[in-house]
Amino acid sequence: GENVEQHPSTLSVQEGDSAVIKCTYSDSASNYFPWYKQELGKRPQLIIDIRSNVGEKKDQRIAVTLNKTAKHFSLHITETQPEDSAVYFCAASPGGGADGLTFGKGTHLIIQP
């Protein structure tokens, strides 16, 4: 089955700086890669996703890149703000999302004021 590795487990950045979280996956059949943000005690919420026919996707301060050959994808957050502090999860799915997601272990992002 699919295996998703996520790094780092904790990331502390100064407010206004950029943050990068990286994930690798094992199943070359995976074609859908969402990123979820989870605040303490809350549900995971989708912040951005990318499909295997696209190399990069941006949404305001958030961007995701995908390298299918190397089987890795990354989340980039620019101009970080205090409200970006949360746990971020990457995930992969071979079914375009109409399939169970395999999640990474999560990255605790801390924005230092």
Partner 1 sequence: DAGVIQSPRHEVTEMGQEVTLRCKPISGHDYLFWYRQTMMRGLELLIYFNNNVPIDDSGMPEDRFSAKMPNASFSTLKIQPSEPRDSAVYFCASSRTGGLAETQYFGPGTRLLVL
Considering only the stretches 21-29, 40-48, 58-66, 69-77, report the one whose residues sit in contact with partner 1 under the rule CB under 8 A: 40-48
Alpha carbon 89 to chain centroid distance? 5
Listed as own residue / partner, the contacts of 58-65 with beta carbons closer than 8 Å and 24 or more positions apart are: 64/33, 64/35
Among 43, 53, 60, 113, interactor with partner 1 by CB under 8 A: 43
Among 75, 102, 107, 111, interactor with partner 1 by CB under 8 A: 102
Using CA atoms, how far apart are residues 86 and 39, in angstroms rounded to an integer?
5
**Residues at the site binding partner 1, with contacts judged by CB under 8 A:** 1, 32, 34, 36, 42-46, 49, 89, 96-106
